[in-house]
Amino acid sequence: MQRNFALAGPEGKTGPADDPFARTVRWTGDGSVERAVAALAGADLRCAHFADPAFFADEARGLNLCRLLRERVNLLWSARLADVPGRELLRAMRLAGCQRVVVSRDGEPAAEEIPRLRGFGFDYAFVPSDGEKEAGHAAYTVAEREAVAGELPGLHAVQFDLAVAYFNARRYGDVMRPLGKAMTLRFPANELCLNLLACLSAARHYPDVAAGLLIQADYGWPHPVVMRNRRLLRSWLESGGDVRGVRLVLEAEGRAVPAR
């Protein structure tokens, strides 16, 4: 707990976090961004959620946070916003590890806001003030993911996004190049990298390799997609698997931070 920032468990809960690798960051005043980053750096996290829209309303404060995160913390995160920021802040957020933004306001997005978000490859949603209906977005095409990787070639998260896009498009021969880059650049959610390798192994008919990779992934962060794929693999084996000619199809997941 910091004086001006608080790290809590998953949003809507109190007490110890169900997920030891994720925290919600709540802003409680006008205080030190450095303290918030220091708390995150010392918490051994994979992901975080910045829960207060007012924080990023101050562009200078948001840019400072992003600079400090890039310098001190290798983290994937999401943020709740009151409006879609300009390109400078969006770029800084993406480079600092932001994967997802949720814009909480009434009214339709302005024409230029969606391309601005998609240009940096954000997962995004628009939520009205009553919170009843969330407007999501169309899936990214491979071409869009390639464009984002060209815009931000040194960012692990966009390389991983591209690897997932290639896998989902069944371009299996293209997966390893961006996936290898993501791992070399220290993509924080290594469990998702192992999961994607398991998906690729299953697609190439190496279920034993896929099983070993999923076991490795399950040793770390208990990401839901790893648990789902382990259940799928178990069910596939129990039903006869290759003996019946049934293909093993596992689920690739590109998002580390949960929907909020």
> Residue 32 is encoded by which pair of tokens?
């030190």
What is the tens place of the pLDDT at every residue in 23-54?
888 876 655 788 888 888 888 888 899 988 88
pLDDT of residue 76: 94
Contact 59, 33 (CB under 8 A): no
Which residue did the predictor score with more confidence, 260 or 65? 65
pTM for this predicted structure:
0.88
Sort strands 5-8 and 22-27 into parallel, antiparallel or unpaired: antiparallel
CA-based diameter of the chain, in Å? Answer: 63
- Which residues sit opposite 102 in a β-bridge? 80, 125
State the average pLDDT over residues 174-191: 96
Residues 170, 46: Cα–Cα separation, whole Å: 28
Higher pLDDT residue, 185 or 32? 185
Cα 144 off chain centre by: 17
Given the DSSP bridges, would you call strands 123-127 and 98-104 parallel, antiparallel or unpaired?
Answer: parallel
CA 51 to chain centre: 16
